[in-house]
Amino acid sequence: MIETLGAIAGTGWASGINLYLVTLMLGAAGRTGWADVPEVLQRTDVMVVAGILFVVEFFADKVPFLDSFWDTIHTFVRPIGAAALGAVIAGESESISAAVGAITSGLLALDAHAAKASTRVAVNTSPEPVSNVAVSLGEDLGVATLVLLAIEYPILAIIVVIVLVIAATALTIWLFRAVRRGYRRVRDRWRSFAPPSRS
């Protein structure tokens, strides 16, 4: 049960950052015999599609403003994809139902996606592209590390995900409030320039 929970938690949260890398890594782990991965994820067509989309996301995720557009498109794709992965992983477990796996994985992905999208909006306020590339590469590395933990050290993966959920939720709330304060300052500044209304 712990192994399944670790796999669902680790891959679920990581899918909220990069669904295609998670899918590709799971398929490769199963193909090489490194981990017991559901056969559907090892199918050639699934891995090819995941690989192509990973390459597209790898480049799109590093271009200012294009990354935010990509995140907007994936607001539903990542949680739904994560839910599908969670259902498939839990489906082969006798202790966890597919529905529980899907809901857990989908919610974790939504939390991670919200933090990722919010962070990118903040990063895009900087005109240079270096920060986007650095953040994106850091995310890719973090996703790969979390998937590896989910496969090899499920208990540690669960602990890491709990910490990430707390941190991501706090970051999302903080960024949302910061953006709202910024909007209010801009709105007040525009109002100060507006001509007085004539009665």
Per-residue pLDDT of the chain (199 residues; tens, 9 = 90+): 788 889 999 999 999 999 999 999 999 999 999 988 899 999 999 999 999 999 999 999 888 888 888 999 999 999 999 999 999 998 876 668 888 889 999 999 999 998 898 888 778 777 677 888 899 999 999 999 999 999 999 999 999 999 999 998 888 788 777 767 766 776 666 766 655 555 4
Residue 122 pLDDT: 77
CA-CA distances (angstroms) from residue 155 to 12, 19, 100, 160, 199?
A: 15, 22, 18, 9, 69
Q: Would you say 166 and 114 are in contact if contact means Cβ atoms under 8 Å apart?
A: no
Rounded CA separation 190/87 (Å): 50
Residue 193 pLDDT: 63
Query: What is the pTM (predicted TM-score) of this model?
Result: 0.84
